[in-house]
Chains A and B, each alone.
Chain A
């Protein structure tokens, strides 16, 4: 739940935000074009100083879904204990999303994880590398069109014999 004044101020500044409530949690679907501005305003004027999590959902073959990827930003204010969920939907071929690292340093590794698992490029990220998978890995394993058991990457290693070592 966020402060009503915050919500009003944001709604007036960004009429394209779609708001919803679920069991006391405030959620907002934000268009990608104004995402960074919304972040900036939330941080600077409404005290949201903490990124709890950044994650992503792949809606491929999901019933009723219109967009491919939905990024989820969970923000919190450590002063007022307010929490807000922001979502932004992106579609192929242009998956680029503005990075939140210039605003919250803690977004760095979270965005790297989303890049590693879903292949969402974050524009303006200072060091967008894989964080969990090996660097030579080429796929994005949490996408729904990637097979659970992989494409044989886990078997693609040299075999050590007794005589080798």
Chain B
């Protein structure tokens, strides 16, 4: 049975239509804590022009955003703030971990710096670099757009899949080291994690 469709009508799936809308109007929440934030600003500015990818509307209220870009190192004192901001964002939402520090702690392997935000938050896209060039961040946003288009659903079913629930690393249990009484420091060569 042939259906006569006018030439200005496109037939698609509702999921794909929703994903197409979402991916082309990402509203980033700039969580910029370090030098990556400078590159993030450069990405949004005129030379690199994030508006070409529909993601230029940076909002400092998490309730208006659907893409959190964590740019820079996150310390112990900042992580609860980061988690709260993530919780305040409306679904569907995505997270880009920008730069070595946000992804792994980078060179800051110290007592106060969180060794990768993906230990405590779901991360969709990682950007390597220290700091990454704006081109790299743009590539991450393009890749995220592809990901949204590829697997996005209007009801957000893709977020409930097993792979999205799993932690990204084999760091299932990270022990808090408590030293025995009277021992004030660990022997040399013993790592605490």
Contact = CB atoms under 8 A, between A and B. Distances in A.
Is this pair of chains taken from one and the same complex?
yes
Interface of A: 132-134, 137, 139, 141, 145-165
Interface string B65-102: 00000000000110110010011010100000000000
Given A151-B179, A152-B175, A162 B111 contact: no
A133 B76 contact: yes
Contact of B192 (A134, A137, A151): A151
A134 B176 contact: no
B110 interface: yes
Interface string B111-130: 11111000111100000000
B111 A157 contact: no
Main SS at interface, chain B: loop
A152 B177 contact: yes
Interface residues of B, number: 37
A62 to B, nearest CB: 15
A146 B86 CA distance: 32
Contact of B87 (A146, A148, A150, A160): A160
Contact of A155 (B87, B121, B176): B176
B191 interface: yes
A151 B86 contact: no
A137 B75 CA distance: 13
Contacts of B112: 133, 141, 150, 153-154
B111 A159 contact: no
Contacts of A160: 83, 86-87, 120-122
Contacts of B177: 151-152
B193 interface: yes
B80 A157 contact: yes
A136 to B, nearest CB: 10
B17 to A, nearest CB: 23
B20 interface: no
Contacts of B185: 145-147
30 contacts: A133-B77, A134-B76, A141-B111, A145-B185, A147-B186, A149-B192, A149-B193, A150-B111, A151-B192, A152-B174, A152-B175, A152-B177, A153-B76, A153-B112, A155-B119, A155-B175, A155-B176, A156-B176, A157-B79, A157-B119, A158-B120, A160-B83, A160-B87, A160-B122, A162-B159, A162-B164, A163-B160, A163-B165, A165-B86, A165-B89
